[in-house]
Structure 1
Amino acid sequence: MKRLLLPIAACALLLASCTDAPDAEKADATDAKQVEQAAATDASYTVDAAQSTVEWVGTKPTGRHHGTFKIKEGNLMVANGNITGGKFIIDVASIKADDQDAEGNKKLEGHLASADFFDVQKFPNGTFEITSVTPASGTANVGDTSKIVATHTITGNLTLKDVTKSISFPAAVTMTDNQVNADANFNIDRTQWNMNYGSDKSLGDKFIRPEVNLKIHLVATK
């Protein structure tokens, strides 16, 4: 029995290590779109940086890493119960990893902050600026196992490393008179923003998938 169990356990471990990118909508990158000026009558909601989060997940054949970015500041414009525009700044230099011990996390954070990836000395911030918000239906995956109803499709210009691309993704938006919440979970191809390190499949176990998962929770208040 022990001889039988050992190969089974080894196979299970091998399968578990072949980690795919998170199951989420792929936000294809296209040329940046024009940003329309908000009307003077639109209400402005200020992004609450303390309550808002950006989580990231990167994967490779042998596993995955995950962590967070802080949001510096931002605002959402609202008219007649609809988001009409907005922008927020991602503090890329704040990148944290949280899936290893302290030494492992620090080493990974240093590599991600280097010129191989985000090059935070040259590009400490990233931005996302909304160009359109349209009604949507369906489900938006906000975690590995949970889904919520997508109320809108958000399109905007994502700038990382001084490269700006338009992306669209489903989001769940809830709104009261004094607060707007928006949740989204999607994958981007990091090579579209000049982060090519490890993206060659011929690298075998050293291959790092170009897909990066971003999960955004945004809270904005009057």
Structure 2
Amino acid sequence: MKKLIKNLAAVAIVAFATFSFTTIVKEKKEIKIDESKVVWKGYKVTGSHEGTIALESGSLSFEGDKLVGGEFVIDMTTINSTDLQGEYKDKLDGHLKSDDFFGVTKHPKASLVFTKVKASGKNAYEVTGDLTIKGKTHPVSFVISIYGNKATTSLKVDRTKYDVRYGSTSFFDGLKDKAIYDEFDLVADLQF
């Protein structure tokens, strides 16, 4: 019996020592900006508009093959529409960059920093993050899927939380068919 206790104690000491000096390595994988794409889509009573916006930088953090974090910087000066051409495209792009919408002269960058990541399936994670637009930060939640060196996600953003009020029925009455819905979509296909 004493020998069994000594053996168990020895095993416990070895296990404790092993786990005490073994660290889980966090690996940060940079996003390949030129191979990744972020698409936005905004909705109004009479239809919708869509376009792209460029990432300035981004990374996903892993422990082994498990996603544990991420952070992104978005170049707001690159926001543009892809569903219009010519004069109408130029007008919409200019309006989106103006103070009525994203005020890119004063706020050229937006960011997203993951604050909580929870596995929700084989390749899926529920993420909560801090999204900053126009200097205002609010939490957002979304699902991200990871397949090899590719990540995909889509999220809804309530623009009014970031002081983007133009055409919002939450702030202006009598807009009728000029109303623009408060939420817009972001869809990201990321390569790393």
> Normalising TM by the smaller chain, what interval?
0.7 to 0.9
Is 1:188–1:212's contact at 8 Å kept on the other side of the alignment?
yes
Question: How high is the sequence identity, in percent, across the aligned residues?
Answer: 34
Is 1:154–1:169's contact at 8 Å kept on the other side of the alignment?
yes
Q: Which residue of 1 aligns with 2:6?
A: none
Note if 1:216 corresponds to 2:188: yes
Which of these two proteins has the greater Rg computed from alpha carbons? Answer: 2
Question: Alpha carbon RMSD of aligned pairs, Å?
Answer: 1.7
1:159 alignment partner, one of 126, 132, 139: 132
2:162 alignment partner, one of 188, 193, 196: 193
Q: Which residue of 2 aligns with 1:42?
A: 26
TM-score (norm 1): 0.71
Is 1:158–1:166's contact at 8 Å kept on the other side of the alignment?
yes
AA partner of residue 190 (structure 1): R
Note if 1:53 corresponds to 2:37: yes
Distance in 2 (alpha carbons) for counterparts of 1:47 and 1:69 = 15
**Structure 1 stretches of 5 or more lacking a match?**
1-38, 138-148
State the Cα distance separating 1:40 from its structure 2 match.
Answer: 8.3
AA partner of residue 152 (structure 2): D
Q: Which residue of 2 aligns with 1:99?
A: 83
State the Cα distance separating 1:150 from its structure 2 match.
Answer: 6.9
Q: Residue deviations 1:171-190, cap 9 Å, x none?
A: 21123xxx3x2111121110
2:52 alignment partner, one of 47, 60, 68: 68
**Structure 2 stretches of 5 or more lacking a match?**
1-22
TM-score (norm 2): 0.82
Aligned length: 167
Q: 1:41 to 1:110 in 2, by over 3 A?
A: same
- What is the SS of the residue equivalent to 2:42? strand
Higher RCO, 1 vs 2 (CA within 8 Å, ≥6 residues apart): 1
- What is the SS of the residue equivalent to 1:154? strand
AA partner of residue 89 (structure 2): N
Q: Residue deviations 1:152-171, cap 9 Å, x none?
A: 11111111000111111112
Q: Which residue of 2 aligns with 1:110?
A: 94
Which 4+ residue blocks in structure 1 deviate beyond 2 angstroms? none
Distance in 1 (alpha carbons) for counterparts of 2:75 and 2:59 = 15
Mean Cα deviation higher: 61-70 or 127-136: 127-136
